[in-house]
Structure 1
């Protein structure tokens, strides 16, 4: 079994350790025995070496990807059983040298590591064989337990050495990794046991002719295994590929993303993801039909596959006209540059009918996100790339946007979209209570100004302003007759009105984007002295910006016309705020708001009456 993966630092140290151990064991057990071989022994060295090389040539693949298996282990086991461990070590030494000279594409260190692993397996197997009472030479029937123990140890050492390497590479559960290796290789090793015993019998009784028969049988078995796994790989290929584009499909992308996130976390390496969307694809479909649209998807699939192969990244079809590119080892900067070069190259690549596109060429919008340690879920990672794609679309298409690279622009886009969405919901008030709609818009404008006065961060500003806009959304649940009643409300009706904060909370919680606004909806009727509703929170138990919203909301309610209360002038409203400072309102925030109102009145020469803001 050979390892063809490129090791990380932990893997490199592990290989150094294995190599040192293999060399020490080889020197200790071999002691230069081949220097004393007779000519007849050398004949068998060459014969067994040739058999090992032939079987090594007929390797076949077993899971996990990159793990190769051959029947050559039966040669080494037969050597242990007939000639002893030093003879088997001679064969593996010469075989390693021959393979290193023959296959120079594989680095020498990989041949050396494989030699060390085989040495440890042979040494462990031989020691157990001896300890279990095994006798070198012709097969002894009543010593079958020794043969079985030798193979078991050979198998377990192989599984542990290779499995531990994959554990260092991918982390996860060592037990699960070893269990999977044992399950995947058990059939092959059972075959190896039988073959090694068959070979021992054939060599003892039939000499070279017996060895030739064995090679023929082993080659056919190896070829059968190779064909079996070739069929398996073909079936798997169909299962993981998108037939229209030739790229990996969505399901395989998710499993690959899982694996790459684990590798990036374990080795602390960069990992980036791009979400790509063909610009104006629907327009192309409508103009030329779905058949031509499918041809365009296939063309783009071939384009991405070719370019991504060169860059050693992986392209997949996410769905519809959306694609993903997973970029192991790419940080934010290099990922953005690669996707942008890809976009420009596509712009210069002709496809029939691209003249109908607004840009007159094939183009895509792309969002790029880079994995961070605080991203604990693959869906969160995909969401960031998808959000970056959304920002790219909003900036005019045929653009690559790296998530977080323009946080101010992202915030502006998000804020504008959120305001639009909330206003769409508030328009329901236009038929039920136009005054509440106007009040919400005025409070929103006050909050915009006060966010500057308070020096809020982008996040605080977004939540405060949107919270002000949506704070009365729960009033949509209040019956029309109560909401528009001209007379004073009865106690029962007033209790119904007070429930609008709870109703509004439930409405906001149905949308993940607005969950952060819940405190503004639920707490804007709490009082500084603890006599508000719904919870009776007091002082700093109420979030600061909710306390400010209470002041803004009350001031606007006092200074604009309401069906069940007298309208106050701005001067009366300011006096009322000061009168209730320390009881209903936070006194410090009251003075900040009053200073803002007075300054604005001076600048705009605001009328004293309750005109609309």
Structure 2
């Protein structure tokens, strides 16, 4: 819709440019015509006192043409008149008046010049401004006529100019009415095209277009843009209990609440299903968190029919927050980072606001300055992997969350937790060497393809081995596919020969792999994955760590199931 509006504005501006060009040509014809008359009738035409005025007019017209061309090239079609626009109208009305006075005043055949400025003003700024110009022009012409002849004579010029004034006003009025009707129709069509019918907020397409536009503006004038992604907690339970009609009523109510709680400049849209998005132009992270909390508390404090039967007794929302350009450099990164923050909010008990935090940014704080470029390259590689394998992106983020949770349960030191998180974030980086076809193959891998895939831990180590600060992370990347019974790869380590933190990562990695959809199989249910962990205890996994991990998952069962449904 935004692109359509731009094209429409360009077309209108082309029409205005044509009218302006004709007015310039018309003025040029008048000046050259008068110049020819003076040259023929007056040998001393060059000392005629009117010549400076004529030269001034020509110079002004040339400058106007240059200004209009510059304005057109910069796509400047204002929504309303600015000071420069007022100056332009005043200057040209002055020169049109001057030309009329130089060509006979009340007898001038060029009084229709004012029609040009009335038309362009109406097309650009609407009927009201056009009528003002038309009335001023008419007043000037009638005043000249009135002062030119004595009151006791029949003033035919005054009568003729009354008709001309009527043409000015009627033309402006008709053109303005048409423009207003078209504007209202366009507005209604835009509402229909851009609004979500159920909730009354903007739809997903408008959200995407507006976010792109706001980020373009942000890059030009250097202000931040924040994004909130909002998901309704336990909404599937609500639909199951009361049916989709009740669910639709809840969505409609939440849409109205969101429109009431945001600022005038903010844009709220339905992102999809039970998710909403709010674009916050020129908003810092602190301001975005404050608005997100206001959204969360407003919905928490609002009564919804039947909410007492939900797991926590009320209908609430979780909110993910990210900010451009501080936390994301592109539109895709901004949406993904907000989505990551929403994942965390859903996972950690819901009904909360989470701001996006990047593991990579934490990494940079612990890396020597000489290796910062390497970390930036790693970020690029991870982006490439995410593009090649849709599974890897969400998988990595979830494994980091699992590792953080089990680290807290096991009471790991701050240093051990940090190493475990970095290992979780980087454990699949070696997949950059694996082709997209292998990563997304739906049929079972051939032996050759499987052997190629098994090389990704060693490839990952090759990528980060030059960074001394990541030496402690190397064992996690290299050995996260080792098995407790010694039948893993690449080194065939067994039991406690597998580093402790690596054994934790292996369980988290395997659990998320089992409960995620893969190209070659559907995901296991929560219960099936837990049973698989227990069955493979002491075969694939450290039995003690399996016990602790299962206890942690059982304690967060609701969060896990809802997290999976996001």
TM-score, length basis structure 1: 0.46
